[in-house]
Structure formats: C-alpha cells, structure tokens
A and B are shown apart, each in its own frame.
Chain A
C-alpha cells in the first residue's frame, strides 16, 4: 500500500464515513431488520461479528507516557492500521488481582499514532539559512519538506559550524552522538517530584517513599491524602486500590485547595488549604501534638519512635556542631535556647500555633486542632502526599515538616501505616518490584558528556538571554548558547518561564527538534525530524507498577519516513565521525528479548527469585533472536501474546511491603541511609545541600518559608491585608487531558477535557465574570486567555490553570491562547532548584477580545498540507 493510500485509509477509518457506517450498522442488525421486519435475529449479528473479528488481530501495544500509569493497551490491527483499542483482559478482574485498566489518555494512543497531524518527513523552516536566517520567524514560518539526507547534512554542518565558531559549550542539550562530539550544556532540577528529591535522601534516606503496598493499605483506619489525586494524575488502577481501602473501612481526609476527582469518591472530609502553605499547617499540627500530649492521660506522640528513630526533635538528639536553638520542638513552640518564649525577631519566633497557621493557610484553628488530634488518636494512619505541595517555590522544608508529623504520630514502619510520596508508578501501591526485567545487554557504551556546565531549569531561559548562569554559591558563569537540541520537542513546553523561552529560542543560531507531532519545540525549530511512536518500535518493556511487567510488541511498521531516535543519533554520529560504522548496536528486538530472558519474578515465598520465562530452541527461531533455552515460570510465547505478566495477589500473601519496618524495630541494626542513620528532623545535610546549590539557605529544621509567589505575595501590605497587583494564587494541577504535556493534540481528549481555567464564584463575581466567559489571566511573565469554569469545588482566592497545554503564542496580541501554564509561570531559582509550578500569583479579568473556539475545533497542527 502506498503511503498516500495508507494515510487515507488510516484517516477515514478513524472517523466514521457514511459507507463504513452503513456497513457497520448492517453488522449490528440493520440489514436483518430490513430482511425480517422486527425479528432482529441475533444469529445474523453473530455471523457479522465473527466476520468482522476475522480480518484483523489484537496486538499488545505500549501505553507510553510519563504519568506513571502506563497501563495495558491492546491494539486491533487491520492491514497495518489500528482501528480499535482495548485494555487488559488477560485474566478475570478482581480487587486482589485487578486487570491493569487504562485511562482516557491511554485509550487515545491510536489517535496520536494515526492522527492527521503526525509528522511525516523531515522539514526545514522555509526562511531558514545557515546561521538561522531571520530567527524572529521561528514559530510562525512556513515549512518545507526535505529528504533525510538533506536534513542530516544541514544538522551536521550546523553542528560543525557552531562548534568551530563557539565550541561545544554553545550547545544546549544533546544525544549520545553530541556527547561523543565534545558534549553539551545540560540542565538540572527536579520536576514532578518537587523538593522531595532532595528532602527524602537527607531526611529519611529513601528517594521514593516510606509508604506501604496496596493490600497493607486496606488495614489503614485513616488515610490522609495530602495534595493527592490519583485518578487524574496516574490513571488506571491507583484510585481503585484506594477504593478497596475505603471499602475495608478506612476513613479518607483530603488536604487540597480543590475538591479533586479522587476526593469525590474517596473523601470523608475535605480540608481546603491555600497552595504553598502546607508547611505552616504541618508545623501547627506539630504544635498541637506537643502541647496537648500527655503520655499518661492523653497520649498523642509516639515517644518511642521519636526517641529511638529520629534526631533533632529536641536538644537531646542534635548532631554534633548543631545550634541548640535549631530543634524541631523549640522552633514549633517558639522557644529560645533557655526554654523561654523567644522574643520577636528571634529565629524561633513566633510559636507555630493554630492561630498563626490559620492566617496563612486559610484553615480554621479549630480544624487544625481537631485534624492533629484525629491523626494522632487513630491507629493506624497512612499519611500520604503526591508531590504537588513540593512543587512550590519555597517548599524546601515541606517534606521534612511532613515526615516530622508522621514521626510524631508514629505512622512509619507499621502495618496499615506508611508515609511520604505516593506517586507515579508507585501511586497507591508502594514497595519493591515483584517482577523485574533483565538488562538489555547493549554493546555500545554510552558516551559521557564531558561538559560539566549545568544550568538550573528555573534559570535556563533567563540565562540564555542574560548570557550567564549560577554555577555555585556567589558564582556566575558566562553562557553563550547558539544551538538548542529539543529531543521529543518538549523542553520549551515543560519548563517554567516559557515566555522568556520563546525569546531565547529566537536568538540562537540553530534549533533542532525531533518528535512525532508539531509540539512546541518543533514549532520553534529550524529543522524538524520525525520519529516513530512506541507502537512502531520493538523494545518497549515496562513495569506499570510493582506487580506487573509489560512486553509491548511492535504494533505497526514505522509510518511515513519516521525513524527511531536511536537511528537518528546513529546517523548524526556517523556524519560527525564519532561512531565506528563497523560496530553497530544490537537490534531493538534483540534488546527486548534480552530483557525478557533475564526477567525474574519473586516466588510465592516472597524471597526466592525465579526466572520468569521458559524459552525453547523453537522459540528462538520463531522470535528471530539469539539466546539460550531456559526454564522459567511461563512460556515466553505466552508472555509475548498477552503482553503482560502480573503477579496474582491475595490477602495474607508474602508480597506485602511495610516500608522501614525493620528500621522501626531496630534502628541501630537497620539504619536508614541518612547521615545519622535516623529520620532527621534536624538535617545538616539538607541545609548544606541547599547552601551548596547557591540560590538560598535554610535552617536544618523545617521552618516555614513563605513561597516566592505564594499567598503572602498576593498582598502589598500583609499586616493590613491590602492586596497587590496579582491578588489571586494560581497553581497548575495535572490534568485528565495530558500526561504532563503529552496527548495535548488529541482531538477527542480536547473535546472531553477543554483546558478550562478554574475560579471560585466569589472571585468571579467580584470581577464580573460568569461561568464559560473568556478571561485573561496575567502574571508578571505575561498573559493567557481561556474559558473559565466557575465552581465552588475550588477554594476562594485560588485559581487553577491545568498543566501542560501546548502554547499558542500570538505574536500580534502578545499573549498565549492555549492556557499554557508555563507561559505565565516564572522561573524562580531557589532552594533545591525545583520548578515551583504550583506557586504563581495572577490577576484575572474578563476578556473582551475575540472569543476562542473550543480547543477540539482548533485546526490540527499539520505543517505541510497535502494536496
């Protein structure tokens, strides 16, 4: 089939034509109705269905994305075109052994793969010339189709030209070939997990979490979901796992500015809180616990845990060299070294009373007291969070304040307890993997990047414009970037400060982007290279969660002229002379086989590691790979056909995981990997790490740091509560429509989830704004326009712009029209250098300019229209 016919077929099959509709309607009984009046014969339907089922085949296909869900997708392939999808039906469904069901996003993968907006061939910007030509046209120029050979020639000649003129430090980002060719400047900083990525290792010594697995969760009496919305963020089963805990009797309390979708099903109580003020609430809860605890008459604090498993609670457990005023207790109670109330101006002033926290958080003092008492008196409690509160400018101490509360109530290392992050592939089910893939056994070694210049994410776009970046404490280093390499096109969309990013991208000499859609990076590039989707590749082996391993087959051959990223890197490397053409990498298919052949699964005893698959000599021939026969738990061909292996679970099995259980029982024999081996309510490492980064300093205890661009910043006069020019808080919840920025172009998701801006009626009425009006949202960085959803499920004073929409920057109006959160978010380099997506302040007004059509009616981004 020619490419053109192929495309036509794919497109006509993804929408219903009259012809296909009538044919299909007949299969459902229409013809039978005509023939036999009202006697709709089921037999006719059966025959038609059987006929329909015989023409294609179901193939397990990847669900790739960075949501952490990555559930099971199966694609129905007819003549190389996927006409339908389904999710896991490889085994009967039960709460203990659930099918790995996908979400609206995953079920839209065929709309991405076969969308009319797939990039089909290499392209160059129409007005591109060596050195860039008119660089201001980036983002609004026309596109010209070019051959792969021309594209790769342009790419390598620009790389060489810029290398000769400016050296390798003029390149921002790169692939293996670029690393081998002298390297590139890279960027750093936590994204999704916010400050936890620094806090966890320093405070409790584990990056991921101290939470328990899903069957343990059913033993919880109370589950606190702090800024946690599993169904929207990590679709698929996580929310269902929580539902089982609810059915088993757990009470759920949600702490969130928004009555989120998971809360609508799970929450028994909702505590609305202003974004970025979580640490204040946690400290006041600590105040309540410390001041109300009486071991004899009102035991609230797990003193055994505090005394044996933590340091820094009070003077008796400070590390050497610590300032004796830097204890959790004295800071929370507002005391100085002598145990007296610290005077105003003292670093421990004031006491962190519920009244103090109430003014900041918007939670009443009574609620703060009752919440603290409830979590202390209920046993066991799972005290969980999923990062949103850590994606704040100024959340440097949030995780430590959070772990302090779980330490005080002793919810760590116990059955039905657990604490810390519950997110991504460990959302609602935390613990070591029960089944693991083996190594790919590739032959080529990755080149290490010799350039050590790393720019913080927050600073990147500003640093390009200013020509310098923060390299250490009180140290700036010059930066002259002249080439940007966007792989999978997304950095210009995923990073805060996009308004500056567009300016920065328009000033460098060369911009290269690879992707399968015209995502933001591609749009602002000079050369765009089309890559394959995971459905066109051989080697997608992934763990959706601790209990399953997926082996996604190649569903279809690469569409049009799309190539794998590895092929592009190889071709660029050959042209740059950094790769030896005689030493090729083993095939993706062989890599996938190696991972499966080396996979292991935990046996029923919970200890023994068994080889996962049995492989025969015939299997090796059938798969077309080299390897050795072996004996395992399931036949390899069965795994390949199903695409999934999942460990069955049941109550009382040996697969439960209670994080830090041995540490709780004997912290001396089983220390955590912090400096002291204990949970550090006073962490010298955390303070030292943040100092060394060079943006700001913190104390070693979880002091409250008002967020830059947080609630306090909405006031020009805090004492008299006079609002400033940006009186509303804005945060950017993860959104149904996308996994971060992925899936934004899918029309059926745009229709289902319209990228609405969210406001409370009180704030809307004050501005003459009604539900569905167009509004203009303005921050210090710029403006975006959107339709507004006015609803009481969001607390007053707070607004939401969902995360990840691909910017539609209008050069004439000078604003974004897509509701791109990162367009109005600012890069604020502070603390650990995490991006503070959830801390921005804005003003909102009714937009009287031209109204936007719904996103689902916007033209698809098809850079070159076929005739």
Chain B
C-alpha cells in the first residue's frame, strides 16, 4: 500500500480547459456550487507605450498560466486537526477522507484548509471533498480527473516516487505556501510560474457575484 498517495500536476501543459473539473463533477454528481477540483488562471504583466512609437501599446511581460487543484491529501492536514467531530481522518495510504455520517457540518475544516478543498453541501448539511476517487482506485482505475486531461497534465502515485520523477515543487502561485499543511502534490512548474507568496499577478476571474 502506498504510504502517501499524491497528485502530480504539470503546470507547463495545463491550458485551464477544466475537463478535469467537469469530469470530477460528473463522477460524483456534484451540484452547482461544489467543485472538488478547481482550475485557476493566474496572470499578470501590463501594457506600456512603445518607447519609439508612443502611439502603440506593447505588452510588458504579460503572462498567464493555469493551475488545477483539488484536495492535496496533505501530510499535515489542517482539516483533520480542525474537525471537532473527528469526522476527518487520514488513511494509511495518506488519503484524507470525511466521514459524512459523523460530520456535523460546522464548516471548521473549510475555514482551516488553505486550499478550499472541503466544501459545504447545503442540501446534505455536511462537508464534502475530493476522496481521490477511491472507488475507481479500488477497481484499479485512475481518478476521473487524471484520465480526463486532454493535455495529460495530471497524474498520481506514491509521493516519493513522484518526487523522484518530477522534483519537489509543491507550491506555486496562486497556491498557498506548502509550509502550512505539507500538501501531497508534485508540480512541474510552468515557465511563468511564480513561487507562492511572491507572485506579481492575480487570479483572473469574476468575483462571486
């Protein structure tokens, strides 16, 4: 059995198409408002007048890259510590699961998680989140998001094995610092990826309205 299952994410190949997020919603029939996998476009730069042609605006380091995230099944999961009902636990293979029968819906885990992974289902009155597609894994199949990616930017496996293959990056903007929870994620950065906490851009999206 794996000691710590982890996702692998290749930021250099992600276009932000959300096939992973929709495959996730489909696999678990998630309603509008609950997204266990989320994709962020992060970008920055600006426009300057060209020094020799003041009537022309030219891009100044305009960049955009996309990041697909779900529950990081952290090595030090703050949601587990925050749950007063002890409904969240870390399994032997590292997967963090919410026991819906025990969850009291207090939403402390939502507050504690820096990744926004646990999400409150108002209909059910309980917290929900990515369970690493354990039903599929038990059948020897891959998580739905991994098999969905048209750019083959997602993978998963034993954390140590992934680190050997792809390095140890586990935080880029707009993700929070890895120091908080030690996320079980291995990231191949995009050429424009910026270290967490040192970004010059912002998430490109409409605010909740």
Known: A40-B97, A364-B53. 6 other contacts (CB 8 A): A102-B148, A104-B17, A265-B14, A789-B205, A792-B43, A793-B62
CA distance A854 to B102 in the complex (A): 33
- CB pair A107–B19 under 8 Å, yes or no, is yes
Q: B85 at interface (Cβ–Cβ under 8 A)?
A: no
- CB pair A239–B206 under 8 Å, yes or no, is no
* Residue in A13, A22, A272 whose beta carbon sits within 8 Å of that of B101 in the complex: A22
B13 to chain A, nearest CB (A): 6
Q: A172 at interface (Cβ–Cβ under 8 A)?
A: no
| Contacts of B55-75 to chain A: CB distance below 8 A | 55-59, 62-66
CA distance A640 to B150 in the complex (A): 24
Tally A residues with Cβ within 8 Å of B: 94
Q: B23 at interface (Cβ–Cβ under 8 A)?
A: yes
Question: In the assembled complex, which residues on chain A have CB atoms less than 8 Å from the CB atom of B151?
Answer: 231, 239-240, 243, 265
CA distance A856 to B26 in the complex (A): 16
- 15 CB contacts below 8 A, A to B, read A28-B131, A30-B100, A30-B101, A45-B138, A49-B136, A50-B139, A104-B21, A231-B17, A264-B64, A265-B12, A364-B56, A791-B204, A795-B57, A795-B59, A853-B209
Residue of B whose beta carbon sits closest to that of A772: B207
Q: A747 at interface (Cβ–Cβ under 8 A)?
A: yes
Nearest 5 interchain pairs by C-beta = A104-B22, A772-B207, A49-B138, A231-B15, A25-B100
- CB pair A792–B150 under 8 Å, yes or no, is no
CA distance A474 to B55 in the complex (A): 42
Q: B181 at interface (Cβ–Cβ under 8 A)?
A: no
Q: B16 at interface (Cβ–Cβ under 8 A)?
A: yes
Chain B positions near chain A (C-beta within 8 angstroms) = 1, 12-19, 21-23, 25-33, 35, 41, 43-47, 50, 52-53, 55-59, 62-66, 89, 91-92, 97, 99-102, 121, 123-126, 128, 131, 134-136, 138-139, 144, 147-152, 190, 204-209
- CB pair A53–B89 under 8 Å, yes or no, is no
Q: A756 at interface (Cβ–Cβ under 8 A)?
A: yes
Work out how many contacts link A and B, with CB atoms closer than 8 A: 228
* Residue in B44, B89, B138, B204 whose beta carbon sits within 8 Å of that of A38 in the complex: B89
With A45-B138, A93-B152, A270-B59 in contact, is A787–B206 under 8 Å at CB? yes
Question: In the assembled complex, which residues on chain B have CB atoms less than 8 Å from the CB atom of A38?
Answer: 89
- CB pair B150–A103 under 8 Å, yes or no, is yes
Q: A97 at interface (Cβ–Cβ under 8 A)?
A: no
Q: A15 at interface (Cβ–Cβ under 8 A)?
A: yes
Residue of B whose beta carbon sits closest to that of A791: B204
Of the candidate stretches A82-90, A315-323, A457-465, A609-617, the one touching chain B is A82-90
- CB pair A15–B31 under 8 Å, yes or no, is yes
* Residue in B22, B139, B150 whose beta carbon sits within 8 Å of that of A236 in the complex: B150
B155 to chain A, nearest CB (A): 11
- CB pair A33–B89 under 8 Å, yes or no, is yes
Q: A101 at interface (Cβ–Cβ under 8 A)?
A: yes
CA distance A38 to B149 in the complex (A): 33
Question: In the assembled complex, which residues on chain A have CB atoms less than 8 Å from the CB atom of B89?
Answer: 33, 38, 40
Q: A29 at interface (Cβ–Cβ under 8 A)?
A: yes
CA distance A617 to B207 in the complex (A): 62
- CB pair B101–A110 under 8 Å, yes or no, is no
B19 to chain A, nearest CB (A): 5
- CB pair B206–A270 under 8 Å, yes or no, is no
- CB pair B135–A28 under 8 Å, yes or no, is yes
Question: In the assembled complex, which residues on chain B have CB atoms less than 8 Å from the CB atom of A852?
Answer: 209
B70 to chain A, nearest CB (A): 15
Q: A261 at interface (Cβ–Cβ under 8 A)?
A: yes
| Contacts of A327-364 to chain B: CB distance below 8 A | 358-359, 362-364
- CB pair A101–B148 under 8 Å, yes or no, is yes
Q: A840 at interface (Cβ–Cβ under 8 A)?
A: no
* Residue in A262, A358, A365 whose beta carbon sits within 8 Å of that of B15 in the complex: A262
